[in-house]
Amino acid sequence: MPCDCGKTIEAPTLRGLRALKPVPSTGPVVAPENPWGPRQGVMFLGVVVALCGLAMTAILWYQRPVFHQPTVDRGGLQESMQKMTLDQSFKTWNEILQHGLDPEPAPQLAAWKAQVERIDRWLIVGVVALLAGAVMVISALLSGGQPARQGVRKPPAGKR
């Protein structure tokens, strides 16, 4: 092969390289260090669990229904109260004292409460998953140290 300096350099062919005998190594043979160990696996799993918990919490939080209180027609209520006799208004007042203003909750209020309770239970699951993932990541970070080297061979006892 010609060089830029003008000299020619001889390089063996691939067949010539294959014909060469390997030279035995004198020192310990160290396999390439694997940067991925149990610590990194725990961190990865913690991040995945935390992200799933965060996504679940965010989605459920934005799906929580808002209850819209039914409006009361104050004008009609005022008119009906004006038309009542003294005896009728006294009976109405006694009923309100015994049963409250709304003795039976609206059916849509009961359905809303049931839906909110169901979503809140799943919100708790999402927050617990988020916290569990965070604990896994923090514990992996605090465990310290490098991953253990694997594949280290010691030389035979007679060759030191």
Residues in the chain: 160
Burial (0-12, 13-18, 19+ Cβ within 10 Å), 107: exposed
Distance CA 150, CA 160 (A): 21
Q: Give a yes or no: residue 21 inside a domain.
A: no
What pLDDT, on a 0 to 100 scale, did the predictor assign at position 118? 92
Q: Give a yes or no: residue 96 inside a domain.
A: no
Q: Give a yes or no: residue 110 inside a domain.
A: yes
Q: What is the pTM of this model?
A: 0.52
Residues 130, 50 contacting (CB under 8 angstroms): yes
Distance CA 117, CA 123 (A): 10
Examine the pLDDT at 48 and tell me if it is beyond 90: yes
Q: Give a yes or no: residue 52 inside a domain.
A: yes
What pLDDT, on a 0 to 100 scale, did the predictor assign at position 160? 47
Residues 138, 43 contacting (CB under 8 angstroms): no
User: For 50-65, what is the mean pLDDT?
Assistant: 92
Domain count, the chain: 1
Pull the structure tokens for residue 54.
């965060």
Q: Give a yes or no: residue 29 inside a domain.
A: no
Q: Give a yes or no: residue 23 inside a domain.
A: no
Distance CA 29, CA 146 (A): 19
Whole domain around residue 51: which residue ranges?
41-62+105-146
Q: Give a yes or no: residue 75 inside a domain.
A: no
Distance CA 143, CA 137 (A): 10
Which is higher by pLDDT, 36 or 77?
Answer: 36
Q: Give a yes or no: residue 133 inside a domain.
A: yes
Each residue's pLDDT tens digit, 91-108: 888 887 776 666 566 677
| Locus of tokens 């060759």 | 159
Examine the pLDDT at 155 and tell me if it is beyond 50: yes
